[in-house]
Amino acid sequence: MPRRKRIEIAGAYYHVTTRGNNKQPIYLDDRQRRFHLWLIDRTARKHGWQLYAYCLMANHFHLVLRLSDGGLARGMCELNGTFSRVANLHSRRQDHLFGKRYWAGMLETDAHLLECCRYVVLNPCRAGVCTDPAVYRWSSFRASAGLENPPPSLAVGELWGLFSRRPDAARDAYRQFVRAGHLRCQAP
């Protein structure tokens, strides 16, 4: 039975995630993570995605993005296919790096978009990898919080615009918003 075609709506926001085959690690070292971030940025610019959040975990990754005029399926095919080939070559692995095809869910409200962005950058904290999202190098939190320069495809200004028109106030509101979600995760 053929797979159902994905619905791609121009201007829509999506939460996208891909897992390693059998939940195995997809990154063996920081060099692969740096390459994947570069590839995500290149793919986003090529396919007109605006990234709102991302996070690379050991055995999966998350993207929160806005489509310009489609390009989700083509972009994810290019992103996952290219990364798989390069990572397998680098690691001398064979077979599939990723398990099932990527998952994508459409985000229909600003509240859902913001909650998803927070969920993505707090993923390492919930997994016990770190206690503070600011120390995790493989997510968009540091750039969105103004702690480092964002990659070209990360729509920090658009994300901040959901909080305030003033960049300083927006950045601070974003940090507080993520912190509030983090404290909720830690509550007994």
pTM of the model: 0.92
Q: Quickly state the pLDDT bin for 3 (edges 50, 70, 90).
A: low
Output the six-digit token pair for 79. 């992103």
CA distance 167 to 173: 10
Flag whether pLDDT at 105 surpasses 70.
Answer: yes
Output the six-digit token pair for 4. 């159902």
| 2 assigned to some structural domain | no
State how many domains the chain has: 1
Flag whether pLDDT at 187 surpasses 50.
Answer: no
Compute how many other C-beta atoms are within 10 angstroms of the C-beta atom of residue 169: 12
Chain centroid to CA 55: how far? Answer: 5
Flag whether pLDDT at 73 surpasses 50.
Answer: yes
Flag whether pLDDT at 1 surpasses 60.
Answer: no
| 39 assigned to some structural domain | yes
Give the mean model confidence (pLDDT) for residues 128-136: 95
Of residues 101 and 36, more confidence is placed in: 36
Which residue range(s) make up the domain with 64? 13-186
* CATH number of the CATH domain containing 75: 3.30.70.1290
